[in-house]
Structure 1
Amino acid sequence: MAEIKDPENTILMELKGGTVTIELMPDVAPKHVERMKELARAGKYDGVVFHRVIDGFMAQTGDVEHGNMNDGFNIRRAGTGGSDLPDLPAEFSRIPHARGTLGAARSQNPNSANSQFFINFKDNDFLNGQYTVYGQVISGMEHVDAITRGEPPANPDTMISVKVAADA
């Protein structure tokens, strides 16, 4: 287990293999960090599938509208929705899309991120400056590496629970 320096800005994501600890970056992307904590505290990420998992690239999840296995799951639509909150403005930075970083998923519009995010399996420098980075896995990356691949996976893995460490 990683040492948690700032429980208010740390996410504990429970996957099938164990806990993934994510250190958020409120100084880099404050709006994205606030959104993740708001949705986590509301339980919106619990049971949501990883709907797009590309080997050697990234695992994408966070469609709270269509991707929840416990409520409203639709494999054909998973990945097309967000939350009922407004989209977020881009918060691009010089933080690279390195292995284990969290990036905000969006459409072609840079200001369309909402609830979906991805975790990079490897350094994906071609994404730098084009997608908001707002977190870094500090422990449990082996559980991310074990997520079932596919677009969408035949039997997708879920985020069992997502909590702010200060609340856990």
Structure 2
Amino acid sequence: MRKKIAGLAAATLISTFAGIANAQGSGDTLTFNTTEGPFTIELFDELAPQNVARVKELAAEGAYNNVVFHRVIDGFMAQTGDVQFGDTQDGLDLNRAGMGGSAMPDLPAEFSDTPFKRGVVGMARSQDPNSANSQFFIMFEDGPFLNGQYTVIGEVIEGMDNVDKIKKGDQADNGKVSDPDRILDVTVGK
């Protein structure tokens, strides 16, 4: 009888954790094929519906294809998504990469209590909390100092080893990468 109760308790606990995870993520994914290999992000639609919708839209239209990882800081994060100045096929300007966005308007902040831990994906922005547009970053390590300050849009669920391989930038130049890796293409999935 005790084994049966323990088994039911364990099943209930597993079901509860699965419910929490499913409430956070939508099941929608983005798979990024990069010069260092693929990685997949699960998107958190319920946490940040407007920001997630923007990234999905840009991915679906191919806007992230050939965009570089322009700012990569070892032990911190890798930033990409500047479709205006970071596209190697149309408008790469490494001196301005990180200053651009898309043709769409900036987005309002959608802050949550989801912590910035290794693999979490957040929207990049300027000093204005409501200035996220197309750029995002992936955490190499936990960054609790970002909690509640930036919009979390998802988490890497496969291929974090490939994210770790992305060329690191110059620490003295705020992570600017002189010969950056890039996104080859993106697949939107469920």
Question: What residue in structure 2 maps to residue 141 of structure 1?
Answer: 160
Identity %: 56
8 A Cα contact 1:147 1:157, kept in partner? yes
Question: What residue in structure 1 maps to residue 131 of structure 2?
Answer: 112
Q: Tell me: CA distance 1:129–1:7, structure 2 relative to 1, closer, same or farther (3 Å).
A: closer
Cα deviations across residues 106-159 of structure 1 (Å, max 9, x unaligned)?
A: 000000000000000000000000000010000100010000011321210001
* Superposition CA RMSD, Å: 1.4
Q: Larger radius of gyration, structure 1 or 2?
A: 2
Partner SS, residue 145 of structure 2: helix
Measure, in 2, the Cα distance between the counterparts of 1:76 and 1:157: 16
Question: What residue in structure 2 maps to residue 158 of structure 1?
Answer: 182
Greater strand share, structure number: 1
How far 1:17 sits from its partner (Å)?
2.9
Question: What residue in structure 1 maps to residue 19 of structure 2?
Answer: none
How far 1:8 sits from its partner (Å)?
6.5
Higher RCO (C-alpha 8 Å, min separation 6)? 1
Aligned with 1:50 (options 64, 69, 83): 69
Question: What residue in structure 2 maps to residue 66 of structure 1?
Answer: 85
Q: What pairs with 1:2-41 in structure 2 (closer than 5 Å)?
A: 9-41=28-60
Greater helix share, structure number: 2
How far 1:163 sits from its partner (Å)?
2.0
Measure, in 2, the Cα distance between the counterparts of 1:7 and 1:156: 31
Amino acid aligned to 1:159: I
Measure, in 1, the Cα distance between the counterparts of 2:132 and 2:168: 23
Gaps of 5+ in 2: 1-21, 170-174
Structure 1 stretches of 4+ moved >2 Å: 5-8
Query: What is the number of residues matched between the two proteins?
Result: 162
1:125 aligns with 2:149: no
Gaps of 5+ in 1: none
TM-score (norm 1): 0.93
